Amino acid sequence: MNKKLLAAGLALALGAGYTLSAVAQAKPEVLVKQRQAAMTLTGKYFGPLSQMAQGKMPYNGKIVARNAEFLTVLSQMPWDGFSPATADIKSAALPAVYKDAAKFKAAQELLQTNVGKLAAATKGGNEGAIKAAIGDVGKSCGNCHDNFREKKQ
Amino acid sequence: MNKKLLAAGLALALGAGYTLSAVAQAKPEVLVKQRQAAMTLTGKYFGPLSQMAQGKMPYNGKIVARNAEFLTVLSQMPWDGFSPATADIKSAALPAVYKDAAKFKAAQELLQTNVGKLAAATKGGNEGAIKAAIGDVGKSCGNCHDNFREKKQ
């Protein structure tokens, strides 16, 4: 494949949302799309764990361990997308995200801590401990959504 | 927080796209949204590396190493979203995704292999080798997009 074509194709494929001067200079609309993408995937990989912990889906330790590993990475991804530059873009983010940044940051860190504990628990293999750790991750999600996300009607 | 409310809130927050009987039974629309989310984040974390490799952004070894780790996980995420159940949902996926599943699978594996090589190269710290590995990852993206994704006009 022609190299120039490849470069042009990649620029298109990657959304071309970046300026050339700095790493975190994506356009506000792109930042919102990226942070929502991280939340979508967090739902994909946490949803089944939540259901397993509640007995609504058969428990599968391999899936829990894999998803916990994925969530360890995903729980690092949304936050730089909540740049003040995005405050005026329509989304479910409440103004508190930008007005109470310290509390928002603490909520992020609590999620990351609890996901870390879940990942550690999956190494131990104790189903009860793992389910409790899943519950704690769920509470971290809910706590942050309660304070920083518009309620769905 | 009330536990029932928490559970209900979580179900909403997580998109409620899952049925209770199996792990991979999300609705086709949800699968498409999830695979597109994985591609969005792949763009977020590969875009800067591509620019660094091309000299369009200052090289930063720490960011390259972190993003390579993220891409190792992200490169596992899109593929189960290309379920045959999604073939009729409007997206940029070409019919070849479903008609030439073996070739599509090989393209996924080539990406994963090249991302693995990039992650390994970041451990070595040789900037030239890392930039070459970034280029190989980019070619894997381009190769798959060329064959399995509608061209943007």
Whole-structure pTM value: 0.86
Q: Do A56 and B20 touch (CB under 8 A)?
A: yes
What would the two tokens of residue A78 be?
A: 């949304």
Asked if residue B30 lies in contact with residue A41, where contact means CB atoms within 8 angstroms, the answer is: no
Q: What is the pLDDT of residue A153?
A: 65
Q: How many domains does chain A have?
A: 1
Residues near B135 by Cβ (< 8 Å), separated by ≥ 6? B53
Which residues in chain A have their CB less than 8 angstroms from residue B56's CB? 20
Instruction: Chain A: give the shortest CA distance to residue B99, in Å.
Output: 22
Q: What is the mean pLDDT of chain B?
A: 89
Q: Is residue A75 part of a domain?
A: yes
Q: Do A76 and B69 touch (CB under 8 A)?
A: no
Q: Is residue A13 part of a domain?
A: no
Residue for token digits 């190769």? B143
Examine the pLDDT at B13 and tell me if it is beyond 70: no
Mutate to test the interface with B, among A31, A33, A41, A147 (most CBs of B within 10 A): A41
Strand partners, A149: A93
Q: Do B145 and A51 touch (CB under 8 A)?
A: no
Examine the pLDDT at B102 and tell me if it is beyond 80: yes
Can you give the residue range of the structural domain that contains B60? 22-148
**Low-confidence residues of chain A: pLDDT under 50:** 1-9, 11-23
What would the two tokens of residue A150 be?
A: 């518009």
Q: Is residue B1 part of a domain?
A: no
CA dihedral B70, B6, B26, B77 (to 10 degrees): 0
Q: What is the pLDDT of residue A137?
A: 98
Examine the pLDDT at B9 and tell me if it is beyond 80: no
User: What does chain B come to in residues?
Assistant: 153
What would the two tokens of residue B144 be?
A: 């798959």
Mutate to test the interface with A, among B3, B12, B14, B56 (most CBs of A within 10 A): B14
CATH number at residue B85: 1.20.120.10
Q: What is the pLDDT of residue A152?
A: 79
Average pLDDT (B62-71) is 98
Backbone angles phi, psi at A57, to 5 degrees: -150, 145
Which residues in chain A have their CB less than 8 angstroms from residue B14's CB? 43, 46-47, 50
Which residues in chain A have their CB less than 8 angstroms from residue B37's CB? 36-38, 40-41, 44
| Nearest to A15, CA basis, from A1, A28, A26 | A26
Q: Do B146 and A1 touch (CB under 8 A)?
A: yes
Q: Residue B60: pLDDT band by 50, 70, 90 thresholds?
A: very high
B115 in contact with chain A, both atoms CB, cutoff 8 A: no
Asked if residue B52 lies in contact with residue B95, where contact means CB atoms within 8 angstroms, the answer is: no
User: What letter represents residue B66's amino acid?
Assistant: R
- Residues A133 and A129: their CA atoms lie apart, in Å, by 6
Q: Is residue A12 part of a domain?
A: no
Q: Residue B144: pLDDT band by 50, 70, 90 thresholds?
A: very high
CB-nearest partner of A13 from B57, B60, B141:
B141
- Residues A118 and A151: their CA atoms lie apart, in Å, by 27
B148 in contact with chain A, both atoms CB, cutoff 8 A: no
The ipTM assigned to this model is: 0.85
Q: What is the pLDDT of residue A116?
A: 98
B57 in contact with chain A, both atoms CB, cutoff 8 A: yes
Q: What is the pLDDT of residue A6?
A: 47
Q: Is residue A2 part of a domain?
A: no
Q: Is residue A132 part of a domain?
A: yes
Which residues in chain B have their CB less than 8 angstroms from residue A139's CB? 1, 6
Q: Is residue A78 part of a domain?
A: yes
| More confident call, A115 vs B5 | A115
pLDDT in tens, B76-89: 999 999 999 999 99
Q: Is residue A32 part of a domain?
A: yes
Examine the pLDDT at B111 and tell me if it is beyond 50: yes
